[in-house]
Amino acid sequence: MALTDLLTRIDAPLRRMDDNLKNVCDDLQASKRAEIVRWLSPVPYIQHHKQTKWDTLAGTGQWLLSDPIFKQWKSDSASSILWLHGIPGSGKSKLVSMMVEDAFARYCHGLESLLPHV
């Protein structure tokens, strides 16, 4: 009985320690990913994306998000490349920026669905 009581009392602190270690590991992995991205390319992609997003008119590229082929590509579990080609100034960067925003919104929505509802 004493051993069961002891295990019950240390369960919560052990779970908190486990959660804290997971958070440290996640932070470390995020930092390592950012370091790898900076090593791969010095291009300030976040600033480029923000500027492109700011310069994009409302409704731009919605035809792509609703296209059945794009939806299939987006939901497919297999890794594949979406190839956008066109002359300079044809809107490729705008479309990519819009796709990044769509992916980010879906990611955030997925996180919200994991949170407990109060």
Cα–Cα distances (Å) from 48 to 44, 52, 54, 68, in that order, read 6, 6, 10, 28
Tell me how far apart the terminal alpha carbons of the chain are, to the nearest angstrom: 36
Question: Tell me, what's the pLDDT at 87?
Answer: 95
Domain extents in the chain: 1-42, 44-118
Label each residue of 24-61 as H, E or C: HHHHHHHHHHHHHHHHHCCCCHHHHHHHHHHHCCCCCC
Whether this prediction's pTM lies above 0.75 is answered by no
Residue 34 CB coordination number (10 Å): 10
Give 6-34 pLDDT, tens digit per residue. 778 877 777 777 777 676 667 767 778 77
d(CA 53, CA 94): 7
